[in-house]
Structure 1
Amino acid sequence: MKVLGISPLDKDATVSVVVDGEVLFAAGEERFSRVKQQDGFPRLALQAALEYTGLNMSDFDQVAYPFLTADNEEKVFRKNLADEKAFIKRFQPKDLGAQVKEALTRVQDRNEPIHGLTHPNAMMEKGALHSSYYSVAGTQRLASNRAALAGSRKWAEQARASFVHWEQELASGLEEFGWNEPVKRMDHHLTHAANSFYASGYDRALCITLDGYGTGLAGSVSIGQNGKIHRLHGISYPNSLGTLYEHVTSSLGFKPSRHEGKIVGLASYGDPTILGGILLSRIEQRPGDFSIYEANNVYFSRYLATRFPKIDVAAAYQYVLEVVATDFVRHWVEQTGIDTVVLSGGVTANVKLNQRIFEIDTVKHIFVYPNMGDGGCGTGAALYQSWPGGAKSSISNAYLGPDYSTAQMVAALQDAGLAYREPEHLAAEVAALIHAGQVVARFDGRMEYGPRALGNRTIMYHAREPEVNQWLNKRLGRTEFMPFAPVTLYEAREKCYHNIRGAEHTAEFMTVTFDCTDFMREHCPAAVHVDGTARPQLIQRHVNPGYYDILQEYEKLSGIPSLINTSFNMHEEPIVNSPADAVRAFLEGNLDYLILGPYLVKHPAMEHSPNEQHKTHD
């Protein structure tokens, strides 16, 4: 059965072509439009999918979409918001004034600089009017209740309008491509559960989904077994850990649904005990479920952000996310007796949370879908509809986008006036360059699907130099609070990371952190966060021989089986797609060398010999 899956159009619109449970092609519109998290109908990605697979729209048996109609979505969330009103009325919050007063006495004096912050205790600076409003709307019960319910009403109005708009755009976009048949609409969280379960290779697993909103829910738990998925429970929206984290992301001055990773990084510098108790006191946890008081009141997190250091606010929200989510998962693992957990949903992009879930005593195996956000839902919908039954082997890679011919690569180089060579021993030469301190971008093979660069659209550097996190991010126009992630030879996984057994496969997709060994801390400090963790990509040769061989040759030179791997893109741009994208990012990022398929290109601005340390690390 041939199914075209299209992810929600409101952000990160993505196309997936699935035939009998095998993903033939999957890519986000952003990679073609060059607009981060591109919304709208994915015309460019769909055209690329058809060209790559050789299929016509008439060849598909079905088009699947991971939301219900606007009317049916509204029926579900309207009921939920009525339930929220009753919960707010009966919930008895603690005295917030007293809690905040006590918490302020425990804020530490700090002087150790944190890159990206003006001061380690920097807070959000707002004018007196804003601060006063946050204090009232965020903390005084009558006003804060009104603000929360008004936030829910506003969300409902925007959600209704959004569903109607994208429903029309989906229909018109498909009609442009000649599809006039009905669209198979699906429960959103079922598509999340489907992508993680069917891609995992497990015959039986507990499917956990957590996100902002989807078909009335903010999370779900299901049993996947023998190719079928049976839901046990859903977390009703607006009791959303995704919304909770979006609020703190916005309140700390970052873009929600895009910069949550910065909050994860900031959190490790702060003290979660200062505000953690206050946040937990606003969440009613029950066995296998929870409710969040005033879930749609963004002014509460804004209030905290103006009174407490950013790092302490981030630390508290990360801590509470971990506590609530792990309590939820632990209950269902114990209830079902299933020790294998598969994860999907935007919240599970939080790699530190995934580590905490894997550390639950009763969890023995974990898999996180590589495109865990809504961009992966089209694939989940198509997998579910085309699944032939039973279990299949797990996916071996996420290289599901387009690739390009050497002729196209040469044309891009010639258009830019760049000289290039075709080395006989490319991997060994590149490893020597990296060992000598050169920054090398790699563009080869099919583009990665999902948010992570996994070797084919990657920038590499050695991990011996902690300062790289400042100068290379500056060169690429980025501000990050987490170090670059490492790529590590699969055979060296236990040499570099603790407690990795049972999570080896998901670590091939860079979706979970681990505590680092002393070897990793000593030899790869650039890849180890302040909390002693790293988010590795494990690489096996049969998955990506060219990428693996560079790392293996580097290990021969250095004795170190890890390199830095960061995405090949400039700040706020998507990961590069085409040879032309790669050449432009290479030049604009002032990177030292570019691998373009079989070719090696030296940046024209370099004045040093290939074996000399590049000095322009400002």
Structure 2
Amino acid sequence: MIVLGISPLDKDATVSIVKDGVVLFAAGEERFTRQKQQDGFPYKAVEKALEYTGIKLEEIDKVAYAFLDADKETEIFTKNVQDEKTFIEYFDEPDVSALIKEAKQKVPVRDKPIHGLQNPNEKMDKSMLHNAYYAMSGKMNFFSKKAAIEGTSKWAEDAKEGHKRWQKELLKGLSKLGLSDKLSRIDHHLSHAANAYLCSGFDKALCITLDGYGTGLAGSASIAENGRIKRLQGVQYPHSLGTMYEHVTSSLGFKPSRHEGKIVGLASYGDPDILTPILLSRIEQRKGDFKIYQANNVFLSRLLASEFPKIDVAAAYQKVLEVVAAEFVKYWVEQTGMTNIVLSGGVTANVKLNQRIFEVDGVNEIFVYPNMGDGGCGTGAALYLSNKAEVKESISNVYLGPDFSDDEIQVELEKAGLTFTKPENYAAEVAKVIHEGNVVARFDGRMEYGPRALGNRSIMYHAREPEVNQWLNKRLGRTEFMPFAPVTLYEKREDCYINIKGAEHAAEFMTVTFDCTEQMKNDCPAAVHVDGTARPQLVRREVNQGYYDILNEYYKLSGIPSLINTSFNMHEEPIVCSPHDAVRAFLDGNLDYLAIGGFLVKHPEQASFN
């Protein structure tokens, strides 16, 4: 059976082709249009998928889509809106004013600078009028309830129109392709559970999904066994950890659904104990479920952001995310006796959260689906439809996009007027220039699927220099609070990371953080965050020979088994896809070398960019 999977069209529209339970191709529309998180029908991605696999439209048996019919979705969340009103009325609201007064006494005086902030206790600078409105709508009982109910109602109105709009566009696109009669719709959170379980290699697993919204839910717990998935609990929207985190992302001045990673970075500098009591006082944790009081009242996070240091606000929201999610997982681990956990959904893009889930008592192994956000739902839905209750081996990689021949690459290099060589001992030469302190962009093989660059579209540098986080981000036009992530030789994992056993495979996809060993902290300070953790990619030679060999040759030169790996793209652009994209980003980013296909290119103006 051949299934074309299409992820939700509202953002990061992504296409996959699954044949008899095996993913042959998967890529986001953004990589081809060059528009970050491209929405709409993914015409270009469909075209590239068919071209790469050689599959014809008439050979497609089904089209999988990870939302129900628009009317059914509306029916489900309309009931949710009514249920939330009932919850708001019976919940025993805490005295937010008193809790804020108490919290202010805990804020320390700080003087150690934090890159990206004017001062370590920087707050959101809003007008007096804004602050007054935040105070009224964030903590005054009558007005805060009103704001929460109006927030959910407005969301519901937008969601209703959104589902209609994207359904119309989906049907229009399928009609153009002659695939209208092949459409099969799948419950959103089932598609998340399916991609995590069916790609994990586990025969038995507890599937945990957490996101903003999907088919009435913001999360779920399911038991998976012998290729089948049975839901145990759904977390009803709007009680959404994803929405909660979107609120703080927006309130701290960043873009929701895009910059949540910056909040994770900021959080490590703050004191979570200052504001965590306020947030936890508004969450009702039941047996295997949770509800968030006034879940769609964004004004509480805006109030806190205007009255407390950004780092403390971020720290509290991160801590509460970890506490609530870990408690949710712990309950279902105890109830099911399952020791293998698989995760999916946009919230599980939070690598620190995933570490806390892995640390839950009773959890022995963890797998996080590499494209955990909605961009991965099309693949999950397609895998679910093509699943024959057969448990397959875990995926070894997500190099599922297009690749390009050296002939195609050479044409682009010559167009750009670049001088290049084709080294005989390629890996050793690339490792040598990295060891000498040069920034090298690597473009080779099939493009990675999902949000992480995993070596084939990556920028590499040695991790010995902490200051690289500032100057290289500046070159690339980025402002980041997280350090760059390391890539580490698989066989050296225990030399670098603590308690990694059971999460090694998840770490091959850069989906979880670990506490670092003293050796890692000393050898690779640029890749270790202020809290002593890192988000590694472990690389095995049988998975990516060219990438591994460069790292191994660097290890021979330096005695250090890790390098920095950051995505090969300019700020607010998707990861590069084609040789043309790579050449442009290489030149615009003033990178020292480009290792592209079998060629090594020195920047024409390379002298000293540092």
* Interval of TM-score (by shorter of Structure 1 and Structure 2): over 0.9
Cα distance, 1:361 vs. partner? 1.6
Report the counterpart of residue 599 of structure 1 in structure 2: 599
1:481 — aligned with what? Answer: 481
Partner of 1:610: none
Task: Tell me how far apart the structure 1 counterparts of residues 342 and 180 of structure 2 sit (CA, whole Å).
Answer: 35
Alignment correspondent of 2:124: 124
Name the counterpart of 2:549.
Answer: 549
2:62 and 2:145 map into 1 onto residues whose CA distance is 45
Alignment of 1:11-30 (within 5 A): 11-30=11-30
Structure 2 letter corresponding to 1:565 = N
SS at the partner of 2:254? coil
Asked whether the 8 Å contact 1:203–1:390 carries over to 2, the reply is no
Match of 2:70 in 1: 70
Conserved 8 A contact 2:203-2:225 = yes
* Residue 417 (structure 1) aligned with residue 410 (structure 2): no
Q: SS state of the match for residue 273, structure 1? A: coil
Could you say which residue in structure 1 is the equivalent of 2:179? 179
- Structure 2 residues not aligned, in runs of 5+: none
Trace 1:10-409 onto structure 2 (pairs within 5 A).
10-409=10-409
The alignment partner of 1:223 has SS state of strand
Residue number in structure 2 paired with 1:560 = 560
RMSD, matched Cα: 0.6
Residues paired across the two proteins, number: 610
3-state SS of 2:199 partner = helix
Deviations 1:194-242 (A, max 9, x none): 0000000000000000000000000000011101101001000000000
SS of equivalent to 1:465:
coil
Q: Which amino acid aligns with 2:447?
A: M
Counterpart of 1:616? 609
Residues 513 and 533, structure 2, Cα contact 8 Å, conserved in 1: yes
CA distance in 1, matches of 2:606, 2:568: 19
Per the alignment, residue 455 of structure 1 pairs with 455
Percent identity of paired positions between Structure 1 and Structure 2:
69
Displacement of 1:93 in angstroms is 1.5
SS in 2 for 1:181: helix
Structure 2 letter corresponding to 1:294: Q
The alignment partner of 2:569 has SS state of: coil
The amino acid that maps onto 2:582 is: A
Q: CA deviation at 1:405?
A: 1.4
CA contact (8 A) 2:396 2:543 kept: yes
Distance, in Å, in 2 between the alignment partners of 1:95 and 1:353 is 28
Give the residue type in structure 2 aligned to 1:579. Answer: P
Please report how far the alpha carbon of residue 94 of structure 1 lies from its aligned counterpart in structure 2 after TM superposition: 1.5
User: Are the aligned partners of 1:342 and 1:366 in contact in 2 as well (CA < 8 Å)?
Assistant: yes
Unaligned 5+ runs, structure 1? 608-614
Q: How far apart are the structure 1 equivalents of 2:96 and 2:64?
A: 46
Structure 2 counterpart of 1:597, which letter? Answer: G
CA contact (8 A) 2:193 2:343 kept: yes
Where in structure 1 do 4 or more consecutive aligned residues deviate above 6 Å?
none
Deviation per residue, 1:282-308 (Å, 9 max, x gap) = 001111111000000001100000000
- Per-residue CA deviations over 1:337-360 (Å, capped at 9, x if unaligned) read 001000000000000000000001
**TM-score normalised according to structure 1 size:** 0.98
Name the structure 2 match of 1:440. Answer: 440
Deviation at 1:177?
1.7
CA drift of 1:56 comes to 1.4
Contact 1:29 1:42 in 2 (8 A): yes
In 2, the alpha carbon distance for the partners of 1:215 and 1:99 equals 35
SS at match of 1:67: coil
C-alpha deviation, 1:176, in angstroms: 1.5
The answer to whether the Cα contact below 8 Å between 1:209 and 1:345 also exists between their aligned partners in 2 is yes
Q: TM-score, with normalisation over the residues of structure 2?
A: 1.00
| Aligned mates of 2:129, 2:449 — CA distance in 1 | 45
Matched to 1:438, the amino acid is: N
Quote how far apart the aligned CAs of 1:389 are.
Answer: 2.0
- 8 A Cα contact 2:61 2:182, kept in partner: no
Counterpart in the other structure of 2:577: 577
Residue of structure 1 equivalent to 2:522: 522
Once residues 389 and 133 of structure 1 are traced to their aligned partners in structure 2, the CA distance between those partners, rounded to angstroms, is 55
Partner of 1:507: 507
| Structure 2 residue 430 is the aligned partner of structure 1 residue 430 | yes
Counterpart Cα distance in 1 of 2:516 and 2:60: 47
CA contact (8 A) 2:590 2:609 kept: no
Tell me how far 1:182 sits from its aligned partner. 4.3
The answer to whether the Cα contact below 8 Å between 2:123 and 2:305 also exists between their aligned partners in 1 is yes
Shift of 1:407: 1.5
Q: In structure 2, what is the Cα distance between the partners aligned to 1:306 and 1:146?
A: 21
